Structure 1
Amino acid sequence: MLIKIRLSFYICLFIIGLLVALQACDTKQNTKVKIGILHSMTGTMSFSERDLVDVISLAIKEINRGGGLLGKKIEPVLADGASDWNIFAAKAEKLITTDKVAVIFGCWTSSCRKSVKPVIEEHHHLMFYPLQYEGLELSPNIIYTGATPNQQIIPSVHWALENIGERVYLIGSDYIFPRAANMIIKDQLKSRGITPLGETYIPLGSNDLTEALREIAELKPDVVVNTINGDSNIAFFRGISTLSKVKVLSYSIGEPEVRAIGAELMVGHFAAWNYFQSIDSDENKRFIDAFKREFGAERVVNDPMEATYIGVKLWAQAVKSAGSFEPLRIRSTLAHQSLNAPHGVVSVEAISQHLWKTVRIGQVRDDGQFDIVWSSDSPIRPSPFPTYHKKQEWLKRLRELELK
């Protein structure tokens, strides 16, 4: 009997020891939390998206140097969307189901975002989207850190009409963002009794702008509103540089793109954003200095990079507040987050999950930076569906565009 008791005692000790060892092993294996980075490292959009991967890397290193989150270090998992929205959707699925990431930071074009959106929603997951866009969308599973139409497109069109001229030509890449943005722009023009001189779309990634440039030269607009994305902008600005009196207002051209295209081709042209590197603030100086220390003094930063950085920092704040990495808990906590960002104070609007943001218009200088020529007095509340139509009307118009 005594032997059996002793045997049982030693068996119990063995089992307890085994459980402790397994728990220690499990703890060791779970000292990291994975986050997904979904951007184009190849294809036409890598021209712009590679910079966003770098700034996510910076934010992760800063968080890890500060001890990580909830006792865990952040481990990035990079997926190349290859500038193809079908690949973006497949990579989002893999990040969630195979890589088991806690959150995804990704997408640039609206076509890619729209392909990823149903994947994120099906898995009740969470994605941060950093680009200014056409709006006309809400998802409980996406945090939109870029500008809505009333935080970029609408105020900049009115500024251009007042300060550049009313002869307007529209040019963009041939996908949903440029078409939807121009739909909104034409609404603004119509309200002033103005009809655009022309409207042209080119295939994403195309460098053949001969016909569009010929038409612009012939029509002589005061301002060309540019919604071209990716490296097609190089050919566009090389061509437009021969038309000295034409000014361009762009929605996807920032400091890295100016550098890649050549500042000498872009001096005097305009861009509308929330952030410019030339913003004079302590928080912006810290952001710029940290990025240059990490990636080189010659590098520059732009609005989508800052919006991406904001997204990682807001997610980290929400994780700490929630005490969890679980997407549903993070989403509910994000509604109460604000941040002193490089471009100014931002806060998450609870209903739409977009950010309150300051609007700015910049003019390209010969050093490749922007002089800020106009800004809103304070952060503007996001309005994904511009208020001059009901939501149902916007969705109807958007469906009509998508069927074209």
Structure 2
Amino acid sequence: MKSVSALRVVALGLLVLRFVLVGPTVRADEGTIKIGILHSLSGTMAISEAVLKDTVLMLIADQNRKGGLLGRKLEAIVVDPASDWDAFAEKARELLTKEKVAVVFGCWTSASRKSVLPIFEQLNGLLFYPVQYEGEESSRNIFYTGAAPNQQAIPAVRYLTSKEGGEVRRWVLLGTDYVYPRTTNRILSAYLTAEGVSPGDIMTIYTPFGYSEWRGIVERIKAFGSAGKKTAVISTVNGDANTYFYRELAAQKVDASAIPVVAFSVGERELLGADILPVGHLAVWNYFHSIKSPENEAFIEMWANFNEQRDKITNDPMEATFIGFRMWAQAVVQAGTTDVNAVRQAMYGQRIKAPSGFEVVMNTNHHLSKPVSIGRINPSGAFEVIWQSINPVRADAWSRYLPESARRTADWTFPWVCGGCIEPTFREW
């Protein structure tokens, strides 16, 4: 006969499973399956986000040509939060309550994601977030298909400190003033300190969204880089401010061989139509348009055909959107329903051969295992891949370089069912 304590453990486990599997759900109606698209089509972030709306429309059209899902056509519900973080929350609530979408693909900045997160958790909606971010989060209602810091920021710094990367010893951490750059730079500062870099060799600068007056900041970067140690700029600048930043670098003749800028938010799309190309500077992503693989050839052709050959340029967040959409569709078929709880469980272990040429997999921390690539900008505005990880890297939701996060784990399967549990030490076991 089981002890009372054992029965209590079993009962607790059943309650947890009931919460996970039988909680309130958001369903599409019985006609079409509604897909929410929550991206800025105007404002400072439109330069980056607008193309992701079209990427989802492309994927919906492709799926409908194949017969839709579960015998039903997919219908896009497009809203424009206009680069306003409060509007993101308002539009998210509208998509979930009024439109009753089955899933939402959207957001770019962490500010927008943080704004909508409580809405998705309260209403048990499902958001696929397609952009690199700062980590330190794992929600049961969000699947993160962009890079975590250990899939972008940390590999970038490791590369730059190597002989191959130029043996950089001084660092300018430059970012737009919001949560993603600030948290990423806190992680990078902790990592650099652990590697023996002195605080005097790290300079941190933040600017507002849409910032355009870069002269003084570029002068500071040049002065900081003149101290006799190889210096690099780690840029988490977002949106159209990058255009002004690179223009000022060129105006002040900041050569990439002297002070390389490594961007985490600039891809091929942001360089389209640029009057001055930042040739020689770098970016770190999980995917570049220039990657050679049969899967990428098919992805680029799909995009070009969707645009009637007017636009053939793809980028990392587009690939992340592609991965998320295809995995969601596979999960819906596996679950036999668009029910959020059922689809969420079916998402764990979903895998596809991505345009990057690697097989990527969704882990139970709601993050992907993906490759890491470093690209250098050439005179045609494309990125030449100069370094790539041998295998996909599993994303860490929580950084081991931050003391308050080092022991946290995210795992949405029993017995954890948690986005930030504290792992017990051996002594505690």
SS at match of 1:265: coil
SS at match of 1:271: strand
Deviation at 1:259, TM superposition (A): 1.8
In 2 relative to 1, CA 390–320 (structure 1 residues): closer, same or farther, beyond 3 Å? farther
Residue identity matched to 2:196: G
Counterpart in the other structure of 2:203: 198
Counterpart in the other structure of 1:269: 281
SS at match of 2:295: helix
- Does structure 2 retain, via aligned residues, the 8 Å contact 1:233–1:261? no
1:285 aligns with 2:290: no
Q: How far apart are the structure 2 equivalents of 1:182 and 1:200?
A: 10
Counterpart in the other structure of 1:217: 222
Write the deviation string for residues 338-380 of structure 1: whole angstroms up to 9, x where unpaired.
1111112111101x11001011111111111111111111011
Q: How far apart are the structure 2 equivalents of 1:39 and 1:394?
A: 34
Deviation at 1:384, TM superposition (A): 1.2
Percent of aligned positions that are identical: 42
Query: Of the candidates 363, 366, 371, which is equivalent to residue 349 of structure 1?
Result: 363
Deviation at 1:246, TM superposition (A): 1.9
Counterpart in the other structure of 2:375: 362
Deviation at 1:217, TM superposition (A): 2.1
Counterpart in the other structure of 1:185: 188
TM-score (norm 2): 0.82
Write the deviation string for residues 273-309 of structure 1: whole angstroms up to 9, x where unpaired.
0000111110110000110111134431100111011
1:3-402 paired onto structure 2 within 5 Å? 30-162=30-162, 163-164=165-166, 165-194=168-197, 195=199, 196-220=201-225, 222-241=231-250, 242-244=253-255, 245-262=258-275, 264-295=276-307, 296-343=309-356, 344-350=358-364, 352-389=365-402, 392=405
Deviation at 1:184, TM superposition (A): 1.0
Deviation at 1:205, TM superposition (A): 1.3
SS at match of 1:261: coil
What is the RMSD of the two structures over their aligned residues, measured on CA atoms? 1.6
Q: How far apart are the structure 2 equivalents of 1:305 and 1:54?
A: 9
Structure 2 unaligned regions, length at least 5: 1-28, 409-429
SS at match of 1:373: strand
Write the deviation string for residues 26-53 of structure 1: whole angstroms up to 9, x where unpaired.
xxx9431111000000100001001111
264-273 or 43-52, which deviates more: 264-273
Q: How far apart are the structure 2 equivalents of 1:311 and 1:44?
A: 25
Write the deviation string for residues 75-98 of structure 1: whole angstroms up to 9, x where unpaired.
000111111110000000000000
Q: How far apart are the structure 1 equivalents of 2:397 and 2:37?
A: 25
- Does structure 2 retain, via aligned residues, the 8 Å contact 1:271–1:361? yes
Q: How far apart are the structure 2 equivalents of 1:39 and 1:32?
A: 21
Runs of 4+, deviation exceeding 3 Å: 388-395
In 2 relative to 1, CA 287–392 (structure 1 residues): closer, same or farther, beyond 3 Å? closer
Residue identity matched to 2:373: R
Residue identity matched to 1:265: L
Q: How far apart are the structure 1 equivalents of 2:219 and 2:402?
A: 36
In 2 relative to 1, CA 167–55 (structure 1 residues): closer, same or farther, beyond 3 Å? same
Residue identity matched to 1:280: K
Counterpart in the other structure of 2:417: none
Residue identity matched to 1:189: L
Equivalent residue pairs, number? 365
119-128 or 211-220, which deviates more: 211-220
Deviation at 1:152, TM superposition (A): 0.7
- Does structure 2 retain, via aligned residues, the 8 Å contact 1:31–1:71? no
Residue identity matched to 1:218: A
- Does structure 2 retain, via aligned residues, the 8 Å contact 1:205–1:230? yes
Structure 1 unaligned regions, length at least 5: 1-28, 396-404
Deviation at 1:197, TM superposition (A): 4.2
Write the deviation string for residues 41-71 of structure 1: whole angstroms up to 9, x where unpaired.
0100001001111111111111000000011
Q: How far apart are the structure 1 equivalents of 2:36 and 2:404?
A: 32
In 2 relative to 1, CA 92–117 (structure 1 residues): closer, same or farther, beyond 3 Å? same
Q: How far apart are the structure 1 equivalents of 2:221 and 2:328?
A: 44
Deviation at 1:192, TM superposition (A): 2.3
Q: How far apart are the structure 2 equivalents of 1:190 and 1:393?
A: 16
- Does structure 1 retain, via aligned residues, the 8 Å contact 2:300–2:312? no
SS at match of 1:342: coil
SS at match of 2:331: helix
SS at match of 2:277: helix
Residue identity matched to 1:81: P
- Does structure 2 retain, via aligned residues, the 8 Å contact 1:315–1:334? yes
Deviation at 1:237, TM superposition (A): 0.2
TM-score (norm 1): 0.87
Q: How far apart are the structure 2 equivalents of 1:180 and 1:260?
A: 31
Q: How far apart are the structure 1 equivalents of 2:124 and 2:238?
A: 30
Larger CA Rg, structure 1 vs 2: 1
Structure with the bigger percentage of helix: 1
In 2 relative to 1, CA 69–147 (structure 1 residues): closer, same or farther, beyond 3 Å? same
In 2 relative to 1, CA 388–213 (structure 1 residues): closer, same or farther, beyond 3 Å? closer
Q: How far apart are the structure 1 equivalents of 2:312 and 2:231?
A: 33
